[in-house]
Amino acid sequence: MPERPATSPRRGVLAAIVATTILALTACVGIPSSGPVNVGLSLSEDSGGSNIAFNPEGPQSGATQQGILRGFVASFTSTTGGYAVSKQFLSQSFAGKWDPRQSVQVRSGVPQIGQVDGSTLTYSFDTVATVDGTGSYSQNSQSFTLTFSFVKEDGQWRISAAPDGIVLADQTFERIFRQYPVYFFAPDNRYLVPDVRWYPSGTASTRIVTALLAGPPDWLKGAAFSRFPDGTKLSDASSVVTLIEGVAAVDLSKEALAASARDRQYMYLQLTESLRAVSSISKVSLSIQGTAVQLDDLGSAAPQVDMSVDSQALALRRGEFGFYANASVAGIAGISSKVVALQPKDATLSSDRQSVAVLGSGGVSLVSRGAAPALIDARPDLIAPSLDEDGYIWSVPANMPNAIIVFDASGTRHTISPKLQDGSQIVTLQVSREGARVLLLLSTPTGPRLMVAAILRNEKLDPTGIGPAVVDVSLGNGDAVDATWVDQWTVGTLITTAGQSKVELFAIGGQKTTLSSLLPSRQIVGGNKGRDGLRVLGRDDSAIYTWGGSSWQSSQVVVDFIATQR
C-alpha cells in the first residue's frame, strides 16, 4: 500500500478501506483488442457503484519506487478529474501522455512486483477479463508483465513511463464499473438493438453518448445502425454530458444539423433509452450548437425497445396446442388445429400470432391463419425452426450446420453458410426478438459451444450472412441440449453432465452466471423478466420447471414441448 507518515490525519479513516482493497488493485496496461465472450449481471439491477467511496491518497513524501507504484495502482479506484489522483504519481512530462481510459484489465490473484534495475520495476498478474477503450467487455485469461520507469523530480520518485490503461481486481472492478446498454436501430427502424458497455458510474453518461456517436461496434455493423449523421460529436462547448437536477444536457456539433426531423426523433430515442440506465438521470435535453431541438412525440411509430411475450406457457399438451393456464389449453384460432395435425415436435409463434413455424413429422412447415399449412423444408434431421420479425423462417439440419436456409413468406430460399467448426452438429438456432442477432448452440468434437453473432441483411432485409461472433465460448464437458434468448442482452444454455442439467446465462458484453442444477432436462425457453421468465422442460417427467430465485421449482404441469414465442 502507499507509504504514509505515521501522523497522517486520514490514516484511521482509510485503514479499513486500504487493507481490504489494495491487494485487489493493480497497475495500468495496454489491452488486447480481441477476445470472445461476454456474460452476466442483470442490467435491470444497479450492479455497479456500491456505496463504498474510494478516496485514494496522492504520493507520500519520501516514498520508494515500490511505494509509488503501489500508490499509483491504488489510485485507479478514483476516476475523479480524469484520474487526477493517479496523475500525481507521474512525472510532469508523462502525466499528459498517459491514457487511463484506453483499457481495463480485470485481474485475479495476487500481483507481483519485480526490480529490473535502479529505475525500472515490473508488475505481473493474471487476467480474467478485459474492457477496451469503448467499454466492450471480453473474457480473457492471460498473464501479463508490465514495465514502469521511474525518475526523480524535486527529490521524489515519479513514474516516467507506463502502459496506457488501468488494472483492477475483479471484485473492485464490479464495485466501480457497471454495465450499460447502448442502443442502435435494427435495419427496419422498428426495434432497438442493445450493445452492452462497461463504464465507471461517475463518467457513464458522457461515455454512453460518445459510444452512440461512434456508431455500432464492428460485430454489429451491417445489422444495426445509428441515426446520428456521420461525424456528429459532442459540441466543443460541451465535451461532456452535463447533469443538472436530473436533466442530462446533450449538445451536439454542427454535423447533427443534417438530420431530418424524423431522424432527430430517432436520435433522441437512442439517447433517452441508452441513458435510462444511469440512475441519476430522469430526463434528457437535446441541443445542436447550443440551440434546443424541438421534437414531436413518435407516438405509435416509436420503435420498440423490449418486446414482451405472453406470460403463459405456449405448449403442446395432450393433443392440444395453445396457451396453458388453469389446467387447460387455450387454442389460437385458425392456428392450433393445423399445428396439431402436423404431429409437431417443436414450434415458434410469430409476434402477431398470425403464423407458426412448426417442426413436424414431415419437416418444417409454415402454419398461417386462413391458409393451408405449407411444407417449406423436407430435409432430414432438421432442428426446431426459428422465425424473425420480417417473416423469415430459419431452418437447418442438425448434421449440416453450414447449410442454413432462410425462407421468406413466398418460399424463396436464402442460403446462409457460416463456416462452423468441422465435425459440429447444430443443436439450437434462434433469432433474437428484434431480428438483428442469432444464437447458435453446437455440439462439437471438443464439447458444447455457444455462439452469438449479428445477422447481415441486404436493402430488402433478406438475410445474407452471419457476422463475426461476439460470443464464442466452449461450455466444457457434457451434452449440448438447448439454448434460448433470456432477454435483450442475455442468452441461456442448457447442458447435461453426469446425470444433471445446468443452466448458464451469458450476458452479451458482460459476465457468466450459473444457476443451480436440476434433473436432466430437454428444453429451455425464454419469456419475460429475465431469468424469472425461464421455463425448462424435464427430460423424464416432461414437467415444466421455473426459476424460483435460488432454485428450480416444478410446476407439476406435464407437456410434450414448450413453443417459443416471438
Tens digit of each residue's pLDDT (9 = 90 or more) over 350-402 = 999 999 999 999 999 999 999 999 999 999 999 999 999 888 999 999 999 99
Residues in contact with 6: Cβ distance below 8 Å, sequence separation at least 6, in sequence order:
none
Rounded to whole angstroms, what are the CA distances from 432 to 96, 128, 201, 363, 527? 44, 28, 29, 23, 12
Tens digit of each residue's pLDDT (9 = 90 or more) over 242-256 = 888 999 999 999 999
In this predicted structure, the answer to whether residue 39 has a pLDDT above a threshold of 80 is no
In this predicted structure, the answer to whether residue 1 has a pLDDT above a threshold of 90 is no
Tens digit of each residue's pLDDT (9 = 90 or more) over 135-185 = 999 988 899 999 999 999 999 999 999 999 999 999 999 999 999 999 999
**DSSP annotation of 54:** P
Q: Across residues 467-488, what is the average pLDDT?
A: 95
CA nearest to 510, candidates 471, 455, 476, 454: 471
User: Structure pTM?
Assistant: 0.85
pLDDT at 5: 33
Tens digit of each residue's pLDDT (9 = 90 or more) over 99-125 = 999 999 999 999 999 999 999 999 999
pLDDT at 53: 63
Q: Across residues 186-193, what is the average pLDDT?
A: 92
CA nearest to 305, candidates 332, 345, 270: 270
pLDDT at 47: 36
In this predicted structure, the answer to whether residue 447 has a pLDDT above a threshold of 60 is yes
**Distance separating alpha carbons of residues 385 and 100, to the nearest angstrom:** 46
- Say what percent of the chain tops pLDDT 70: 90
pLDDT at 137: 93
Cell of 147: 514495465
What are the chain's domains?
11-176 (no CATH), 186-301 (no CATH), 313-565 (2.120.10.30)
Tens digit of each residue's pLDDT (9 = 90 or more) over 40-72 = 333 333 333 444 567 899 999 999 999 999 999
Helices (H) and strands (E) in the chain, counts: 8, 38
**What is the residue-averaged pLDDT of the chain?**
89
Tens digit of each residue's pLDDT (9 = 90 or more) over 65-100 = 999 999 999 999 998 888 999 999 999 999 999 999
pLDDT at 38: 36
pLDDT at 304: 86
In this predicted structure, the answer to whether residue 12 has a pLDDT above a threshold of 60 is no
Going across the sheet that includes 346-349, the strands are 374-377, 363-368, 355-360, 346-349, 564-565
- Say what percent of the chain tops pLDDT 90: 79
In this predicted structure, the answer to whether residue 343 has a pLDDT above a threshold of 90 is yes
**Distance separating alpha carbons of residues 405 and 466, to the nearest angstrom:** 12
Provide the 3-class DSSP secondary structure of residue 44.
coil
For the four alpha carbons of 275, 279, 284 and 287, in that order, the dihedral sign comes to negative
Q: Across residues 130-136, what is the average pLDDT?
A: 93
pLDDT at 54: 79
Q: Are 232 and 266 in contact (CB under 8 A)?
A: no
In this predicted structure, the answer to whether residue 525 has a pLDDT above a threshold of 90 is yes
Identify each DSSP E strand in 266-343 by its residue range. Answer: 283-288, 291-292, 313-317, 320-325, 328-331
Q: Across residues 492-497, what is the average pLDDT?
A: 97
pLDDT at 537: 98
